[in-house]
Amino acid sequence: MLQTWQLWAVMAAVFAALTAIFAKVGVEAINSDLATMVRTVVILVIVVGIVAASGQFGGLATISTRSYVFLALSGAATGASWLCYFRALKMGDAARVAPIDKLSVVLVAVFGVLFLGEQLSALNWVGVALIGAGAILVAYKG
């Protein structure tokens, strides 16, 4: 059961939801950039602990330059995303900020097709459009 991508994706969604709720409370009385730093340090400590406990540090030498470059770009994009997300949470309702953040699902579908050569069926595109429409409707304050 722990070897299915679907389980891990659902767990990611649950933790992402908890992230929004915990972050909204945590960022109330402090600067959003400072809050992002605290969150990042916690993540770093946890991930370093997992890698150390599982003996994976030796794998660093086997990573290609290309992988390092793209992982660094991914890290930079993650950092920018988190800074923007925490700033949005500081200013807006979590129930409205999170759906707009999840428009990333729509963008991943578009970018995956454009840059990675992935293919989606017509039914998949309907789903992507519904996700986009749903995110906008949930975020609408009316």
pLDDT digits 0-9 by tens, 80-109: 999 999 999 999 999 999 999 999 999 999
What single-letter DSSP state applies at residue 118? -
Asked if pLDDT for residue 2 goes beyond 90, the answer is no
For residues 104 and 132, the answer to whether their CB atoms sit within 8 Å is no
Asked if pLDDT for residue 28 goes beyond 70, the answer is yes
| pTM score, whole prediction | 0.84
Angle at 25 between CA 7 and CA 48, to 5 degrees: 50
Q: Long-range CB contacts (< 8 A, 24+ apart) of 104-108?
A: 105/131, 106/131, 106/132, 106/135
Asked if pLDDT for residue 70 goes beyond 70, the answer is yes
CA atoms of 86 and 92, how far apart (whole Å): 10
Reading the block at residue 76, the tokens are: 């930079």
What single-letter DSSP state applies at residue 29? T
Reading the block at residue 82, the tokens are: 């988190």
Instruction: Read off φ and ψ for residue 55, nearest 5 degrees.
Output: 65, 35
CA atoms of 66 and 42, how far apart (whole Å): 27
Phi-psi domain of 132 (left: phi exceeds 0; alpha: psi -120 through 50; beta: other): alpha
Asked if pLDDT for residue 1 goes beyond 70, the answer is no
Asked if pLDDT for residue 123 goes beyond 90, the answer is yes
